[in-house]
Structure 1
């Protein structure tokens, strides 16, 4: 199957502002991209890509005073299969984990494991098996948090999400990631495209999505505590410890998000690409960070 995806994002800058964008599809999916996949910036500015410590592609630029528009549209091939499942996958002992997985056992900015350890062990300590334990965590998070765009808060931690019991995609992912880490299961935060493929259409405006991956049975598996069932057509953009590592935009100066539109869907080859306006400008799963020098 083929998936057409893209975005149309604009910022109003009140001075020249250095920015780091994370909008390029993850290198693990580059072989699947069927059309040009180039960041289009207006007005034209000098932009440079680099790869961060997590293997994500980032774009550096200096946005001039005024409106800067960032667009892209592309088509990507996909297997059309749902997320892989391995109910018998065992939990790997910590001493047997690969070196690169160890960082995903530690607490991070939004995954404050130290505040959730007792809850995690009292709730999931008697569950055997890596897959079964991670799925139990997903069930718990899915039932505990109420989803709603109006619940979005950019500074909510996993423990606060657990206490407040409301949130958006990122909050589901943060809590599930933190609980997995508390149980010595490496877990990493993921963000990317997830359209309504194989499921009833969601009337809410399209957004980027957040999910997570857990390392069990010797490999990484995809889990989604918000939807809590296998989905078709995920296209990952970035992976990291939590949302702080994968913000779509980090602005080092004063900016205002002026436009935010996202599309991802399965489409016939001859169907026109169309971006539907997003009513709300508060992004769900991907934090738009602003850092002031």
Structure 2
């Protein structure tokens, strides 16, 4: 299938303001992009591209005073299959994990393993290791947190999300990631596009989505505690320890988000 995707975002700045942007399609999905993939700036400004420590494609800019429109639109070829389910995927002993997976066992800005370890072991210590344990964590988080865009709070951590019992997709991901790490399962945060493909249309504005990946059986596997069901048509943008590493924009100065529109739709 072909998926039409893109965004149109406008920031309003009072002065020249440096920004780091993580708005590109991830290198792993770039071969699936048909035609050009370019981020446009209006007014035109310079942008330098770099790869961060997690392999994401990022851009550095200095936003001028006034409005800055940032946009892109592209097509992606997708197999149209659901997220893979591998119920036999085993959990690794820590000593058997690859070196680059170890950082995804550690606490991070939004994933306070030190505050949730006791809870995690009380809830999941008796569950079957591997895929069933991660799925049990997703089931718990899915029931624990009430989704709502009006619940968004950019400062909310996994611990606070568990206490509040409400949030948006990033809160589901942060809590599930933290509980996985507490149970010695490497887990990393993912952000990208996820359209209403293969499900009844959702009467809500389109947005970027957050999910996570857990390392089981020698591979990273997709899990989504918010939807808690395999989905079609994910387009990965970036991976990291938590939302800090993959923020759409990291802004070094005052600014206002003046416009935000995301497109993700199957092309008939």
- Where on the TM-score scale, by shorter chain, does this alignment land: which range? over 0.9
Question: Is the Cα contact below 8 Å between 1:89 and 1:129 reproduced in 2?
Answer: no
Question: Is the Cα contact below 8 Å between 1:41 and 1:71 reproduced in 2?
Answer: yes
Q: Runs of 5+ in structure 1 lacking a partner? A: 269-293
- Corresponding residue of 1:26: 26
What's the CA shift string for 1:157-177, capped at 9, x where partnerless? 101101110000000000000
Question: Is the Cα contact below 8 Å between 1:162 and 1:175 reproduced in 2?
Answer: yes
- Corresponding residue of 1:259: 259
1:190-209 correspondence runs (5 A): 190-209=190-209
SS at match of 1:136: helix
SS at match of 1:137: helix
> What is the distance in 1 between the residues matched to 2:88 and 2:129?
7
- Corresponding residue of 1:127: 127
Shift of 1:103: 0.1
- Corresponding residue of 1:99: 99
> What is the distance in 1 between the residues matched to 2:88 and 2:252?
46
SS at match of 2:29: helix
Higher relative contact order (CA closer than 8 Å, sequence separation 6+)? 2
Shift of 1:129: 2.4
RMSD, matched Cα: 0.5
Shift of 1:267: 1.1
What's the CA shift string for 1:20-58, capped at 9, x where partnerless? 111100000010000211000011111100000000011
> What is the distance in 1 between the residues matched to 2:19 and 2:144?
36
1:237-256 correspondence runs (5 A): 237-256=237-256
Work out whether 1:11 is the aligned partner of 2:11: yes
1:1-293 correspondence runs (5 A): 1-268=1-268
The number of residue pairs the alignment matches comes to: 268
> TM-score of the superposition, structure 1-length normalised?
0.91
> What is the distance in 1 between the residues matched to 2:250 and 2:90?
38
> What is the distance in 1 between the residues matched to 2:49 and 2:55?
12
> What is the distance in 2 between the residues matched to 1:14 and 1:84?
46
SS at match of 1:204: coil
> TM-score of the superposition, structure 2-length normalised?
0.99
Shift of 1:3: 0.5
What's the CA shift string for 1:40-82, capped at 9, x where partnerless? 0011111100000000011001111111000100000001010
SS at match of 1:24: coil
Which structure 1 residue ranges, 4+ long, deviate > 2 Å from structure 2?
none
> What is the distance in 2 between the residues matched to 1:163 and 1:16?
39
SS at match of 2:28: helix
Shift of 1:94: 0.4
> What is the distance in 1 between the residues matched to 2:109 and 2:171?
13
Question: Is the Cα contact below 8 Å between 1:88 and 1:129 reproduced in 2?
Answer: no
Q: Runs of 5+ in structure 2 lacking a partner? A: none
